[in-house]
Structure 1
Amino acid sequence: MVQHLTRKLLSGMALPGIALAAMLGTVAVPVQANAATLHMAWSQDATGLDPHKQTAFSSLRLLELIYEPLVRVDASLQIVPAIATSWQFSQDGKELTFKLDPKAKYHNGAAVTSADVKASFERIPDEKTGAAARANFLSIASIDTPDPVTVVFHLSQPDVPILTAMSDVNAAIVPAGEITAGSVGTKAIGSGPFKLDKWDPNAREVLSANKDWAGGATGVDGIEISVLPDETAILAAMRTKQIEFALLNDPLVATLVPQEASLQLNRVPVLAYHVLQLNPSRKPMTELKVRQAISCAIDRQEVLDTASLGEGKVTGPLTIPSLATDPSQLFCYKRDVEKAKQLMSEAGYADGFSATVIGATGEPPTAAAEAQVIQSQLAEIGVKLDIKMMELNVYVDAWLKGDFDMAIALNGGRADPYTMYNRYWTKAGNLQKVANYIDDTLDSQMQQGRTETDPAKRKAIFAEFEKHLAEVSPWIWLYTSYSYTAQQKNIAGFVPTPTGTLFSLSKVTIQQ
Structure 2
Amino acid sequence: MTSQFKRLLGLTAAIVLGATAFAGTADAAKLRMAWAQDATGLDPHKQTAFSSLRLLELIYEPLVRLDAELKIVPGIAKSWAFSADGKELTFKLDPKAKFQNGAAVTPADVKASFERILDEKTGAANRANYLSIASIETPDAETVTFKLSQPDAPILTAMTDTNSSIVPAADIAAGTIGTKAVGSGPFKLERWDPNSKEILTANKDWAGGATGVEGIEISVLPDETAILAAMRTGQIDFALLNDPLIATLVPKEPKLQLNRAPVLAYHVLQLNPARKPMNELAVRQAISCAVDRQAVLDTASLGEGKVTGPLTMPFFASDPNTLFCYKRDVEKAKKLMADAGMTGGFTATVIAATGEPPTAAAEAQVLQAQLAEIGVKLDIKMMELNVYVDTWLKGDFDMAIALNGGRPDPYTMYNRYWTKNGNLQKVSNFADDTLDALLQKGRVETDPEKRKAIFADFDKELAEKSPWVWLYTSYGYTAQQKNVQGFVPMPTGSLASLGKVTVGQ
TM exceeding 0.5: yes
Verify: 1:511 aligned to 2:504, yes or no: yes
Matches within 5 A, 1:299-448: 299-448=292-441
In the TM superposition, what is the alpha-carbon distance from 1:128 to its structure 2 partner?
0.3
Matches within 5 A, 1:124-143: 124-143=117-136
Secondary structure of 2:246 counterpart:
helix
Task: Indicate which of 274, 286, 291 corresponds to 1:298.
Answer: 291
Secondary structure of 1:191 counterpart:
coil
Answer yes or no: is the 8 Å Cα contact 2:118–2:127 preserved in 1. yes
Verify: 1:181 aligned to 2:177, yes or no: no
In the TM superposition, what is the alpha-carbon distance from 1:33 to its structure 2 partner?
5.3
In the TM superposition, what is the alpha-carbon distance from 1:197 to its structure 2 partner?
0.3
Verify: 1:158 aligned to 2:144, yes or no: no
Matches within 5 A, 1:104-123: 104-123=97-116
Answer yes or no: is the 8 Å Cα contact 2:260–2:476 preserved in 1. yes
Alpha-carbon separation, structure 2, partners of 1:355 and 1:285: 10
Q: Which AA in structure 2 matches 1:49?
A: L
Alpha-carbon separation, structure 2, partners of 1:230 and 1:80: 35
Alpha-carbon separation, structure 2, partners of 1:410 and 1:444: 26
Q: Which AA in structure 2 matches 1:329?
A: T
In the TM superposition, what is the alpha-carbon distance from 1:24 to its structure 2 partner?
4.3
Alpha-carbon separation, structure 2, partners of 1:339 and 1:323: 29
Secondary structure of 2:96 counterpart:
coil
Alpha-carbon separation, structure 2, partners of 1:472 and 1:224: 46
Residue in 2 that maps onto 1:10: none
In the TM superposition, what is the alpha-carbon distance from 1:511 to its structure 2 partner?
1.4
In the TM superposition, what is the alpha-carbon distance from 1:184 to its structure 2 partner?
0.3
Verify: 1:209 aligned to 2:202, yes or no: yes
Verify: 1:25 aligned to 2:17, yes or no: yes
Residue in 1 that maps onto 2:8: none
**1:109-142 deviations in Å (ceiling 9; x for gaps):** 0000000000001000110000001100111000
Verify: 1:497 aligned to 2:490, yes or no: yes
Unaligned runs of 5+ in 2: 1-10
Alpha-carbon separation, structure 1, partners of 2:503 and 2:174: 39
> Bigger CA drift: 23-32 or 328-337?
23-32
TM-score for both structures, normalised by structure 1:
0.95
Q: Which AA in structure 2 matches 1:298?
A: V
Secondary structure of 2:166 counterpart:
coil
Residue in 1 that maps onto 2:243: 250
Alpha-carbon separation, structure 2, partners of 1:30 and 1:60: 26
Alpha-carbon separation, structure 1, partners of 2:293 and 2:14: 34
In the TM superposition, what is the alpha-carbon distance from 1:149 to its structure 2 partner?
1.1
Percent identity of paired positions between Structure 1 and Structure 2 = 79
Secondary structure of 1:124 counterpart:
helix
In the TM superposition, what is the alpha-carbon distance from 1:229 to its structure 2 partner?
2.5
Verify: 1:226 aligned to 2:219, yes or no: yes
RMSD: 1.2
Q: Which AA in structure 2 matches 1:259?
A: K
Q: Which AA in structure 2 matches 1:179?
A: I
Alpha-carbon separation, structure 2, partners of 1:295 and 1:107: 48
Q: 1:268 to 1:20 in 2, by over 3 A?
A: closer
Task: Indicate which of 234, 237, 240 corresponds to 1:241.
Answer: 234
Matches within 5 A, 1:449-460: 449-460=442-453
Alpha-carbon separation, structure 1, partners of 2:407 and 2:221: 28
Alpha-carbon separation, structure 2, partners of 1:33 and 1:458: 51
Q: Which AA in structure 2 matches 1:102?
A: P
Alpha-carbon separation, structure 1, partners of 2:115 and 2:28: 42
Residue in 2 that maps onto 1:472: 465
Q: 1:31 to 1:47 in 2, by over 3 A?
A: closer
**1:24-56 deviations in Å (ceiling 9; x for gaps):** 422145553531100000010000000000000
Answer yes or no: is the 8 Å Cα contact 2:25–2:235 preserved in 1. no
Q: Which AA in structure 2 matches 1:27?
A: A
Equivalent residues, number: 494
Verify: 1:41 aligned to 2:50, yes or no: no
**1:410-437 deviations in Å (ceiling 9; x for gaps):** 0000010000000001011000000001
Answer yes or no: is the 8 Å Cα contact 2:227–2:239 preserved in 1. yes
Alpha-carbon separation, structure 2, partners of 1:89 and 1:476: 37
Answer yes or no: is the 8 Å Cα contact 1:274–1:411 preserved in 2. yes
Residue in 2 that maps onto 1:487: 480
Answer yes or no: is the 8 Å Cα contact 2:117–2:127 preserved in 1. yes
Secondary structure of 2:18 counterpart:
coil
Alpha-carbon separation, structure 1, partners of 2:502 and 2:25: 16
In the TM superposition, what is the alpha-carbon distance from 1:158 to its structure 2 partner?
0.3
**1:178-208 deviations in Å (ceiling 9; x for gaps):** 0011110100000000000000000010000
Residue in 1 that maps onto 2:65: 72
Secondary structure of 1:205 counterpart:
strand
Unaligned runs of 5+ in 1: 1-18
Alpha-carbon separation, structure 1, partners of 2:25 and 2:143: 44
Secondary structure of 1:277 counterpart:
strand
Q: 1:341 to 1:33 in 2, by over 3 A?
A: closer
Answer yes or no: is the 8 Å Cα contact 1:21–1:27 preserved in 2. no
Q: Which AA in structure 2 matches 1:317?
A: P
Q: Which AA in structure 1 matches 2:259?
A: N
**1:242-285 deviations in Å (ceiling 9; x for gaps):** 00100000000000000000000000000000000000000000
Answer yes or no: is the 8 Å Cα contact 1:64–1:502 preserved in 2. yes
Residue in 1 that maps onto 2:5: none
Secondary structure of 1:27 counterpart:
helix
Secondary structure of 1:272 counterpart:
strand
TM-score for both structures, normalised by structure 2:
0.97
Secondary structure of 1:154 counterpart:
strand
Alpha-carbon separation, structure 2, partners of 1:184 and 1:101: 23
Residue in 2 that maps onto 1:102: 95
Secondary structure of 2:254 counterpart:
coil
Q: 1:97 to 1:22 in 2, by over 3 A?
A: same
Residue in 2 that maps onto 1:13: none
Secondary structure of 1:86 counterpart:
strand
Q: Which AA in structure 1 matches 2:30?
A: T
